[in-house]
Chain A
Amino acid sequence: MKTKDWLLPYLKENKRMLGFVIFFGVLTIFSAAFLMFTSGFLISKAATRPENLLMIYVPIVAVRTFGITRAVSRYMERLVGHDVVLRIVTKMRLRVYRLVEPNVLSSFAKWKTGEVLGILAEDIERLQDLYLKTVFPMLATLFMYGLAIAALGWFSWPFALLMAFYAGVLLLLFPLVSLLVTKAKVQAMKAGRHRLYERLTDAVMGISDWQFSGRQHDFIQEYEREEEALSQDERQRMRFVRWRNTAAQGVIALMVVSMLRWTAEQTAQGELAPVMIAAFVLVIFPLTEAFLPISDALSEIPAYQDSFGRLSRLAKDQKEPKLSLHQDIPRIAAGGGVTLELRHVSFHYDHTEQTLDDISFTIRPGEKLALLGPSGAGKSTILKLIEGAVSPTAGQVVLNGVPTTSLGVDIAKWVAVLNQKPHLFDTTIRNNIRLGREDATDEEIVWAAKQVKLHDYIQSLPLGYDTPLLETGVRFSGGQRQRIALARILLQDAPIVVLDEPTIGLDPMTEKELMLTIFEVLKDKSVLWITHHLAFIHMVDDVLFLDHGKLQLHGTHEQLLKTSERYKRLYAMR
């Protein structure tokens, strides 16, 4: 089962702590049970009016002790349980991160978006509950079950077996049946829920269309009908749970009656002191109280199936990183600047048609190139190739003659990227800029902010450079966010900068200002500017036009204007 991979190793790893959790769990149930047991004994014993008060002194102390112990051990159980779980969470996070990190640029459709990665993080959070609400209580209760049966077996094995059977119904049979029932239902309910979720999302996204069509009431009626149909499944499940709980109480009644009968027999035969009757009967209630929640706890398991599924699929999908940390990274002699060269590069994904076909171009130190083309023409694949995240099917991408695929993390020393939506992290502006170079001083950060013309704005904020990027009500506009990212890139100080449509979604004024800043601060660097429209195209030295995986046009802006009708037409559209 795929659950194993993401559950058992962590339990094994934390054996000792887990032992504590279960110990306290058992102690909690045990104390609650023995509080009632000794209380029953105490009262019965007292009713015999013993001459010697010492006879009931021990149970008096025991009663109080169990009362206090139960509270303390419950507290400890929860505390240690959470601690273990949080330790496990750290381990899981590291594991997920290590799986995802090497391949984040090379993987394509499947989980490349931040959203999907966010879901993985949530999956880990969810699994906390599996431990706290299902795994720990189940282990503790099973342990207690064994203990109680063994204790009863000391008096009479046949009767112990009978009680083991009854309690087994509560602790094993009911939970397993519940698991099977929910398992069957959960899939159907989930599918139904998902369908409704999509329908509703669909409708809310297209709400203006519904309004204009004048048919919104039809939709609501239809939707409500489907909700009603879906709630039938839930209703059935609730009915099952109700009847199961009622039946469980029936079993408890049976246990009480059997216990009364057995103790009556035993006392009649003189095997058991009559003072024990109350003790034995009363202990049933706290014990079964601990057993009852197990049914619900176990039937929660199918709800985690999807999370487990996603995590194990992640482990399966990830290929081993091509480059280990310790492998020698070839040196690049950068004395005379760095030249990026694509030599007859072709690339295609598995099973699909050619994405890039025989692409060659060179960016010499300080040169500015624009890479133009409609969406889907393969522009972003070129970025991945330059980053060395994917290997060309044919040809080579080289930096001063060294293939970029051999550079691993070192590529960031040579190539910086400003993309459409650079991620700004949930920390201060200062820390976000410093991400460009870890050892940057505060002065250097200010310098970078001044370069991108953001210093004055940052200064005007109450917290200045220590303003957190989220919350606090300060909203950074798209242009400002790009500027922060640009400052970061300035600190990174790579000789080549790739701009991957950085102005998409900005209005023309903001776009203009941003592009001017970009070209100003990057004037000494090589720039490859990936874009789909032609405003500011005159600012680059060379224009490449990519379409259907091939370089269709190549030349300076002026040349192309003169020689290409198509280019001219597009330029008019800016």
Chain B
Amino acid sequence: MKKELLAFEGMKRILALLFGFTVVQGVSIILQAKWLAEVVTRLFQQEAFQEVYETLLLFIGAFLMRHFLQHVKQKMVYEYSVKLGAHLRKEVLDALFHLGPKVARRLGTGNAVTLLQEGVSQFKQYLSLFLPKMVNMAIIPAMVWLYVLLLDRTSAVILMVTLPLLVIFMILLGLAAKKKADKQWKVYRVLANHFVDSLRGLETLKYLGRSQAHTQNIQSVSERYRKATMGTLKIAFLSSFALDFFTMLSVATVAVFLGLRLVDGEMTLWPALTILILAPEYFLPVREIGADYHATLNGQEAGRKLKEIVDLPRFREEGTCKLERWNHQQELQLNGITVRHEEGGPPSLKGVTLSVKGFQKIGIVGESGAGKSTLIDVMGGFVQAQEGTIQIGGQKMTHLQKKDWQSQLLYIPQHPYIFHDTLWNNLTFYQPHATAEEVRTAVEKAGLGELVQRIPNGLHEKIGEGGRALSGGEAQRVALARAFLGKRPILLLDEPTAHLDVETELDIKEKMLELFCGKLVFLATHRLHWMPHMDYIYFLKDGEIVEEGTHQQLMERKEHYYQMAKAHWGDQA
């Protein structure tokens, strides 16, 4: 990440500023030590307190200067990290909203949101902690050391020797700890997860009659976890022990050698005191690097993940072709479309070729994993085809992430998303300027009238997550009403009713069939009762179209579709 850091906008400028401030800060640290030592020495030599006023003021000045600079540096880096964090977040949001649901699903909604919020804030924290520390580390020990060298060579040598020793030990012990932790990782993870796992599975344990006896397990696993953790920590903490040990020992050694030479008269009090005050300052940056180590790691990791999303391949730019509004004459053709979700992975769609014209109703059936949803994703412009072309009105392309196309579509998935907003705003999502009359009609057509009557604030009730929760059927009706309101000519439906109870399904099906009139419809489902209502059916198997035709034709062929129907109707077809 360190090299990548330089790629961020404004990073070089910030580093240069930090560098400058830190040099001044280093000077303040040295002066502060020098003047404090001087005050103490003169008091030691029985000078009156009034006589050292001037030097004392200088000391206070240097001391405050040092901390004031710290303040300024922190402010500067903080503001910069806020700016950079916001910039990165915006880039990720842009990428996410460009790439669409496919990527959002792959990342996981929770994961993506956490990354955008906590991840960004971890990244910010990392920057504001790490940058000044890094610059301090690069500058202050060197400056302090040079000054000590000017005063006394022996002390400089002691300090010089300790630092690499310390770093080497820290690294070695750190590696040892990591090795041990890696070895135990598997056991460790199971032990650490055991409690959460138990709570999540409590219902199951209860059904199995094992929940009370399990208390014992929790106790013993938790104790094993403690022992395993302590075993690892014993080694893990050694690395900061080494840091402490060498720092303290080095300061002590410096003090002892100074003392011995003072006794011999080779040295005077002032330089000795100065060195003694500076010795901890020499080690301070190293110690600070060690602190907040985890925050640094997390921030780095978050930054890397965020950057990964920004760098995800975008949809290919294919010019700004104009697409007409869908009508009777229009034709859509897929020619040998192949889609792979992972590079080199098995294709989800393999050489799919089909063609539709005008306002047909197309059924897409097949088992789970046959590629039904992927085909819908292609139509929706959520994925790009690796091979093959899509052709509309004579224009060839590899994906349908086109404003002209998407603005004609309406997509109803199995679980249509209900925004946490009023029912009204949910209904008019695609049609923000719809009139009350239009909304009322759509509500009636979708069978939502009863719900609107029932809830206290009617259309202005907050629904969705955190508001009034809607049942699966109600959510589907909201999507339906949106569709009635939107009057978009193309409908994509992905398993719209499979999770509903039969009575609700029946009612919604009737409403949907009404919606289908005069539209181009793609309906992917394994609920075969839809199929007699479709104009044409494609049967997918392992990403390929293996059968096509009307319901009647496919039943007569007695192959894939027929077999599936038989299974579906419980062998009583």
B502 lies within 8 A of chain A by Cβ:
yes
Q: A100–B314 Cα gap in the complex (Å)?
A: 48
Interface residues on A, range: 35 or more
Residues 454-495 (chain B) with a chain A CB within 8 angstroms: 464-466, 471-472
Q: A274–B501 Cα gap in the complex (Å)?
A: 91
A410 lies within 8 A of chain B by Cβ:
yes
Residue in chain A with minimal CB distance to B71: A246
Is B219's CB under 8 angstroms from A90's CB?
Answer: yes
B5 lies within 8 A of chain A by Cβ:
no
Is A209's CB under 8 angstroms from B272's CB?
Answer: no
Q: A200–B93 Cα gap in the complex (Å)?
A: 10
Is B44's CB under 8 angstroms from A253's CB?
Answer: no
A336 lies within 8 A of chain B by Cβ:
no
Is B277's CB under 8 angstroms from A204's CB?
Answer: no
B17 lies within 8 A of chain A by Cβ:
no
Is B202's CB under 8 angstroms from A117's CB?
Answer: yes
Is B67's CB under 8 angstroms from A249's CB?
Answer: yes
Residues 499-520 (chain B) with a chain A CB within 8 angstroms: 499-506
- With A63-B256, A235-B82, A246-B68 as contacts: A121 and B501 at CB distance below 8 Å: no
Q: A40–B44 Cα gap in the complex (Å)?
A: 12
CB of A3, distance to nearest CB on chain B (Å): 22
Is A35's CB under 8 angstroms from B252's CB?
Answer: yes
- With A71-B245, A245-B71, A504-B499 as contacts: A211 and B43 at CB distance below 8 Å: no
Residues 376-434 (chain B) with a chain A CB within 8 angstroms: 380-382, 403, 406-407, 409-411, 413, 417, 419-421, 429-430
- With A97-B218, A212-B407 as contacts: A375 and B569 at CB distance below 8 Å: no
Residue in chain B with minimal CB distance to A508: B568
A105 lies within 8 A of chain B by Cβ:
yes
CB of B180, distance to nearest CB on chain A (Å): 15
Is B202's CB under 8 angstroms from A104's CB?
Answer: yes
Residue in chain B with minimal CB distance to A111: B199
Segment among A78-86, A175-183, A446-454 that sits at the interface with chain B: A78-86
B230 lies within 8 A of chain A by Cβ:
yes
Is B206's CB under 8 angstroms from A105's CB?
Answer: yes
- With A43-B259, A49-B263, A508-B564 as contacts: A419 and B207 at CB distance below 8 Å: yes
- Which of B201, B464, B472 is the one whose CB lies under 8 Å from A375? B472
Residues 36-82 (chain A) with a chain B CB within 8 angstroms: 36, 38-40, 42-47, 49-50, 53, 56, 59-60, 63-64, 66-68, 70-72, 74-75, 78-79, 82
Is B101's CB under 8 angstroms from A277's CB?
Answer: no
- With A94-B219, A423-B204 as contacts: A47 and B43 at CB distance below 8 Å: no
Residues 14-42 (chain B) with a chain A CB within 8 angstroms: 36, 39-40
Is B262's CB under 8 angstroms from A46's CB?
Answer: yes
Max chain A C-beta neighbours (<10 A), residue from B208, B248, B268: B208
B441 lies within 8 A of chain A by Cβ:
no
Segment among A146-154, A218-226, A337-345, A358-366 that sits at the interface with chain B: A218-226
Residue in chain B with minimal CB distance to A410: B209
Q: A476–B97 Cα gap in the complex (Å)?
A: 32
Segment among A278-286, A299-307, A347-355 that sits at the interface with chain B: A278-286
B325 lies within 8 A of chain A by Cβ:
no
A14 lies within 8 A of chain B by Cβ:
no
Per-residue B-contact encoding for A534-546, CB less than 8 Å = 1, 0 else: 1111110000000
Is A261's CB under 8 angstroms from B411's CB?
Answer: no
Q: Which residues of B contact A227 (CB under 8 A)?
A: 86, 89
Residue in chain B with minimal CB distance to A510: B368
Majority secondary structure, A binding face: helix
Residue in chain B with minimal CB distance to A40: B276
Segment among B130-138, B187-195, B299-307, B316-324 that sits at the interface with chain A: B187-195
Q: Which residues of A contact B43 (CB under 8 A)?
A: 260, 263-264, 267, 274, 277
CB of B478, distance to nearest CB on chain A (Å): 11
Q: Which residues of A contact B263 (CB under 8 A)?
A: 46, 49-50, 53, 56
Q: Which residues of B contact A204 (CB under 8 A)?
A: 96, 104, 109, 112-113
Q: A208–B415 Cα gap in the complex (Å)?
A: 12
- With A68-B248, A79-B237 as contacts: A200 and B201 at CB distance below 8 Å: no
Is A425's CB under 8 angstroms from B211's CB?
Answer: no
Is B74's CB under 8 angstroms from A242's CB?
Answer: yes
Q: A250–B39 Cα gap in the complex (Å)?
A: 18
Residue in chain A with minimal CB distance to B242: A71
- With A198-B420, A212-B406, A223-B93 as contacts: A425 and B501 at CB distance below 8 Å: no
CB of B494, distance to nearest CB on chain A (Å): 10
CB of B384, distance to nearest CB on chain A (Å): 14
Is A274's CB under 8 angstroms from B46's CB?
Answer: yes
Q: Which residues of B contact A268 (CB under 8 A)?
A: 46, 48-49
CB of B149, distance to nearest CB on chain A (Å): 19
CB of A281, distance to nearest CB on chain B (Å): 6
Max chain B C-beta neighbours (<10 A), residue from A36, A39, A44, A275: A39
Is B417's CB under 8 angstroms from A209's CB?
Answer: yes
Is A47's CB under 8 angstroms from B269's CB?
Answer: yes
Q: Which residues of A contact B245 (CB under 8 A)?
A: 68, 71-72
Q: A43–B263 Cα gap in the complex (Å)?
A: 9
B355 lies within 8 A of chain A by Cβ:
no
Residue in chain A with minimal CB distance to B110: A201
Q: Which residues of A contact B465 (CB under 8 A)?
A: 198, 201-202
Segment among B56-64, B139-147, B331-339 that sits at the interface with chain A: B56-64
Is B206's CB under 8 angstroms from A426's CB?
Answer: no
Segment among A393-401, A457-465, A566-574 that sits at the interface with chain B: A566-574
- Which of B75, B104, B238, B569 is the one whose CB lies under 8 Å from A574? B569
CB<8 Å pairs between A and B, sample of 24? A31-B248, A36-B280, A40-B276, A43-B259, A46-B260, A60-B256, A64-B252, A71-B249, A75-B240, A82-B233, A90-B226, A206-B419, A212-B430, A214-B407, A239-B75, A249-B63, A277-B40, A278-B40, A285-B280, A387-B207, A413-B209, A427-B190, A488-B208, A574-B529
B interface residues (Cβ-Cβ under 8 A, vs A):
36, 39-40, 43-46, 48-49, 52, 56, 59-60, 63-64, 67-68, 70-71, 74-75, 78, 82, 86, 89-90, 93-94, 96-97, 100-101, 104, 109-110, 112-113, 116-117, 189-190, 193-215, 218-219, 222-223, 225-226, 229-230, 233-234, 237-238, 240-241, 244-245, 248-249, 251-253, 255-256, 258-260, 262-263, 265, 268-269, 272-273, 276-277, 280, 367-368, 380-382, 403, 406-407, 409-411, 413, 417, 419-421, 429-430, 464-466, 471-472, 499-506, 526, 529, 564, 567-570, 572
Known: A35-B252, A66-B252, A74-B241. 15 other contacts (CB 8 A): A43-B273, A46-B262, A47-B262, A60-B259, A75-B244, A79-B237, A121-B195, A121-B199, A197-B117, A208-B417, A211-B101, A212-B407, A246-B67, A471-B189, A512-B570
Kindly list the 6 A-B residue pairs having the minimum CB-CB distance in the complex, ordered from nearest. A412-B209, A423-B201, A114-B200, A67-B252, A46-B262, A117-B199
